[in-house]
């Protein structure tokens, strides 16, 4: 397994199959070009990500960039693919019970129904779509904790978008001792519920998933992909060059 140290975070290279086999305990976050950019701007986010058990490369563009700059083959595992694979893989394990937290009103419940249909059992035992201010609302967070505990879930999937989801997990992990695995999944619940269309596989494989998402949500994503993304790539290249020069 290729491991890369970047901005204080240990990035791990996995494909979906190897990640699904290995992930048995702890927190799992997925990194793409956007989250790498956020690591450089948000000290709390960087600190949280430096302490999780699994920081996985998600996104073909990031995998290619890391492979190029570090000289090792880097694999990617998409969080959007992983959640479904996880549910299917553990469909015959009654002890695995999933709770979905995130997305807009009703979206988590629709994702729950679809994932249970794919798994062939009620592997997702609860779902809740919180308010936009969940991270800063201790009263609502406490209520969400009660819902999660009452569901008897052992796996918590949080889809609030980065860095909110990672920060929420870090802040409330200690309050959920029955949860063995925490998974931060971004927009995955929207994809599973059918609210947002995913890019075709061929576009993901050639590094164009960002272009598809930009076409789907131009007003929300134009700055991320057309301004912040290229800047992050340039900074990543510069940082790596500085590391290499510093060795000589």
pLDDT tens digits for range 96-124: 999 999 999 999 999 999 999 999 999 99
CA distance 238 to 136: 35
Give the distance, in angstroms, between the CA of residue 169 and the centroid of all CA atoms in the same chain.
Answer: 12
Range(s) of the domain holding residue 222: 202-246
127 and 237 together in one domain = no
The proportion of the chain whose per-residue pLDDT surpasses 70, expressed as a percent, equals: 98
The token pair at 147 is: 């819902």
Domain of residue 163, CATH code? 3.40.50
Nearest to 54 by CA among 231, 183, 196: 183
137 and 214 together in one domain = no
Nearest to 134 by CA among 143, 124, 123: 143
Please check whether residue 20 is in contact with residue 86, taking contact to mean a CB–CB distance below 8 angstroms. Answer: yes
226 and 190 together in one domain = no
User: pLDDT tens for residues 46-86?
Assistant: 999 999 999 999 989 999 999 999 888 999 999 999 999 99
132 and 236 together in one domain = no
More confident: 81 or 7: 81
Does the structure show a pLDDT above 70 at 246? Answer: no
23 and 142 together in one domain = yes
CA distance 62 to 76: 8
**3-class SS letters over 177-200:** CCCCEEEECCCHHHHHHCCCCCCC
pLDDT in the model for residue 247: 64
Does the structure show a pLDDT above 60 at 248? Answer: no
The token pair at 170 is: 């870090």
Give the distance, in angstroms, between the CA of residue 7 and the centroid of all CA atoms in the same chain.
Answer: 18
User: pLDDT tens for residues 156-204?
Assistant: 999 999 999 999 999 999 999 999 999 999 999 999 999 988 888 888 8
174 and 189 together in one domain = yes
The token pair at 151 is: 């569901």
To the nearest 10°, report the CA torsion of 163, 164, 166, 168. Answer: 160
Number of compact structural domains in the chain: 2
pLDDT in the model for residue 72: 87
The token pair at 162 is: 């980065």
166 and 229 together in one domain = no
82 and 113 together in one domain = yes
The DSSP secondary structure of 226-248, one letter per residue, reads IIIHHHHHHHHHHHHHHHHHHT-
Nearest to 186 by CA among 219, 226, 218, 159: 159
pLDDT in the model for residue 112: 98
41 and 132 together in one domain = yes
92 and 183 together in one domain = yes
145 and 208 together in one domain = no
206 and 149 together in one domain = no
User: pLDDT tens for residues 220-233?
Assistant: 999 999 999 999 99
């Amino acid at each position: 397994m290729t491991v890369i140290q970047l901005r204080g975070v240990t990035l791990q290279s996995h494909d979906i199959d190897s990640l699904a086999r290995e992930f048995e305990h702890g927190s799992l976050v997925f990194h793409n070009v956007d989250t790498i950019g956020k690591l450089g701007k948000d000290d709390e986010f960087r600190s949280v990500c430096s302490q999780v058990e699994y920081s996985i490369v998600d996104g073909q563009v990031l995998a290619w960039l890391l492979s190029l700059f570090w000289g090792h083959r880097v694999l990617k595992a998409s969080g959007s693919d992983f959640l479904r694979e996880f549910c299917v893989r553990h469909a015959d394990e009654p002890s695995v019970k999933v709770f979905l937290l995130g997305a807009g009103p009703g979206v988590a419940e629709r994702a729950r129904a679809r994932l249970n249909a794919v798994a062939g059992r009620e592997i997702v035992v609860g779902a809740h779509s919180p308010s936009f201010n969940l991270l800063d609302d201790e009263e609502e967070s406490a209520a969400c904790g009660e819902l999660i505990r009452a569901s008897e879930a052992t796996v918590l999937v949080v889809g609030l978008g980065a860095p909110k989801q990672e920060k929420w997990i870090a802040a409330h992990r200690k309050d959920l001792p029955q949860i063995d695995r925490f998974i931060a999944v971004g927009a995955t619940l929207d994809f599973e519920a059918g609210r947002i269309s995913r890019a075709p596989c061929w576009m993901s494989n050639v590094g164009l998933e960002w272009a598809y998402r930009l076409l789907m949500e131009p007003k929300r994503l134009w700055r991320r992909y057309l301004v912040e993304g290229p800047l992050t790539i340039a900074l990543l290249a510069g940082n790596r060059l500085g590391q290499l020069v510093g060795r000589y």
